[in-house]
Amino acid sequence: MTKGSIPEDKIDEIKRRINIVDLVSGFVILKQAGRSFIGLCPFHKEKTPSFTVSPDKQIFYCFGCGEGGNALAFVMKINGLTFPEAIRYLAKKTGVALPDRPLSRQEKEQLTLKERMLRLHALVADYYAARLTGKEGQKAQLYLQNRDIGAEAADTFQLGYSIEGWRFLRDYLEQKRVPLPLAEQSGLLVKNERGEYYDRFRGRLIFPIEDQAGQIIAFGGRILGEGEPKYLNSPESALFTKGKTLYGLSRTKEDIRKSGYAILVEGYFDLLSLWNAGVKNVVATLGTALTRDHVALLRRYTKDVAVVFDGDEAGKKALAKSLGLFIDGNLHTRAVMLPEASDPDDYVRSFGKKRFEELIEKSPPAVEYYLDTVVGNRGDFEHDRDALRESLSFITGMDNAVERNLFIKLAAERIGVDEDILKTEVIQGMEKKSNEAVLKKNENRSSSPVDALEMNFITLILEHPDKIPAMISADILKCFGSEELRNLGNVIEDYYGKFGKIDLKDFVDHLDAGFLRDEILSRLIDSGAWEGDTVDQVFSDMIHQIRRKWFKDKHRSLKIRLIKAQQASDLELCQRLLVEKGDLLKVEKAVLAKG
Ligand SMILES: [Zn+2]
């Protein structure tokens, strides 16, 4: 693992300061359960929480997908960061100042592409923001005023302005010695046929687009005045995937958590206007259809979503398209339909925050809205048949039986078919789905059996490192049947020898990825099985049992060799094996008597 240019003592300080529960809470809704916290896993799709965080041990583990580790591992995984990137991210969170010295050439080369792109985006966002507040930005400022966007909103979302012209940003980047091909890769500059670079965003109001961790990964720009296209985004890059990004989330996730639901809108200005009007639990898709990834991302913060659609035909179609995704993602969804020909921006500016919130409160569940306005019974056989097919795929995806039956009842009424027939079809569809799921699960099943007793022993040792000296003097590892666990025992011994203690959140970094690491994490997170006075007793019982098992295995293998020798009529070998057996019995008696 490369530590990049970050001093070791700073890394230690960050590790000491970070609290995994606070950190994870920024991404997952956690509930206390005993000594741990649980929530829905952000790394796999699940409907009941199996993602567990231990504040005592400062580690996390998911019983559903086996993802686990310490705070650093969590940040790397969830934000797709390398080690140095994750350290820098956590440094900001914990307020640990990292030396900001100019990088050597070698260090610069070591920075990953993503890291260099992130730095570039931060630099460019500052550049655009300064243009907005400067005299070049008057037109853009006026535009914001006309749309009633205040300074607080502009600051929070770090709005900017790109000057009308072909090479303002390009010249600035050259002056800052930024390699222009990097800016091209980030989509900030474009290369023409003559191989010259020019600015992508010209004469536009600029919206920095952040990932949920608050790192700028792209830009959006709205043209001021006439021109096409009205909105322009950075192209997709190593940092930015449209279908996985929700605009505003990094700034509004706390409000979403507090209010218990998210309002989903379509564009930058819808979000800005609502936020500006005091409706802050908002996120926006970036002018793209809703995706499974969007839903999964939202699901980390809330299970209730109010989706705002334009009341026109296109709006209804969009709702029909995303409904399946919401249901599959187990998100309770309300359909907020605005009066014809108005968008959230118009609405909230005309009627204010209170009316908008009332509108949300009155909004029907999206499923009902869908049945009423999209499926409906239009008396047109072909339309109804198609609508029925579509609804079936929704219904089979619904896990909640009560919701499902209600939907079937409603759908049967609306479409005018017999409820029981519909139910039968749904059940058939569900059986097909579940058979497929079982087959898939079997394919993926792989197990590496390790001895349960030895596994328990290792867990005990990790939870009670004060027993490690006793483990070493008992020389118990050589009695382990599982080579993997014996090696792990040796790693523990070495670690303890080096540091004189076991810091679990640090130790987990010393485990190789794989079955054993998962198993250890799952046991540690579920911890506290042995406490107080019982530890010593359990410890010596385990030592005793592991030894007995070792002797038992020895006896068994001797017995097999003896039988084979007898079958081969090899009397000499038989004799030798019997002596060996006698010796073994003597040793066994002595060792096991000692306890
Ligand atoms: Zn998981």
User: Domain limits of the chain?
Assistant: 8-106, 112-240, 258-433, 452-594
CATH of 112-240, picked from 3.30.230.10, 3.20.20.70, 3.90.980.10, 3.30.565.10, is 3.90.980.10
232 and 204 in contact (C-beta within 8 Å)?
A: yes
d(CA 507, CA 521): 11
Instruction: Kindly give the distance from the C-alpha atom of residue 29 to the centroid of ligand 1, in angstroms, as a whole number.
Output: 14
Instruction: Kindly give the distance from the C-alpha atom of residue 52 to the centroid of ligand 1, in angstroms, as a whole number.
Output: 9
d(CA 493, CA 358): 63
Judged by phi (left if over 0) then psi (alpha if -120 to 50, else beta), residue 178 lies in beta
Confidence (pLDDT) at 80: 72
Confidence (pLDDT) at 2: 43
Instruction: Kindly give the distance from the C-alpha atom of residue 321 to the centroid of ligand 1, in angstroms, as a whole number.
Output: 27
Instruction: Kindly give the distance from the C-alpha atom of residue 245 to the centroid of ligand 1, in angstroms, as a whole number.
Output: 20
Instruction: Kindly give the distance from the C-alpha atom of residue 240 to the centroid of ligand 1, in angstroms, as a whole number.
Output: 24
Instruction: Kindly give the distance from the C-alpha atom of residue 62 to the centroid of ligand 1, in angstroms, as a whole number.
Output: 5
Confidence (pLDDT) at 11: 87
Class of domain 258-433: alpha beta
Nearest Cα neighbor of 281 from 307, 304, 259 is 259
Instruction: Kindly give the distance from the C-alpha atom of residue 65 to the centroid of ligand 1, in angstroms, as a whole number.
Output: 4
Instruction: Kindly give the distance from the C-alpha atom of residue 67 to the centroid of ligand 1, in angstroms, as a whole number.
Output: 6
305 and 332 in contact (C-beta within 8 Å)?
A: yes
Enumerate residues 6+ apart whose C-beta is below 8 A from 418. Answer: 412
Class of domain 8-106: alpha beta
Instruction: Kindly give the distance from the C-alpha atom of residue 515 to the centroid of ligand 1, in angstroms, as a whole number.
Output: 15
**125 is written with which tokens?**
């966002």
pTM, to two decimals: 0.63
Instruction: Kindly give the distance from the C-alpha atom of residue 203 to the centroid of ligand 1, in angstroms, as a whole number.
Output: 45
Helices (H), 18-70: 20-25
Instruction: Kindly give the distance from the C-alpha atom of residue 522 to the centroid of ligand 1, in angstroms, as a whole number.
Output: 12
Residue by residue, pLDDT tens for the chain (595 residues) are: 444 567 888 888 898 899 999 999 988 889 988 888 999 888 887 778 889 999 988 999 988 788 899 999 999 888 777 788 888 889 988 888 887 656 666 666 656 788 889 999 999 999 999 999 999 999 999 999 999 999 999 999 999 999 999 999 999 999 999 999 999 999 999 999 999 999 999 999 999 999 988 899 999 999 998 888 999 999 999 899 999 999 999 999 889 888 889 999 988 999 999 999 999 999 999 878 888 889 988 888 888 999 998 767 777 777 777 887 887 777 889 999 888 768 888 899 889 999 999 999 999 888 888 777 766 656 666 776 777 777 777 777 666 677 678 778 887 887 777 888 888 887 877 777 666 665 554 454 434 467 888 988 998 898 889 999 999 998 999 999 888 889 899 999 999 999 898 888 888 888 877 777 888 888 888 766 667 777 888 888 889 889 988 998 888 888 888 888 888 888 899 999 999 999 999 988 888 876 5
Confidence (pLDDT) at 374: 65
Confidence (pLDDT) at 134: 93
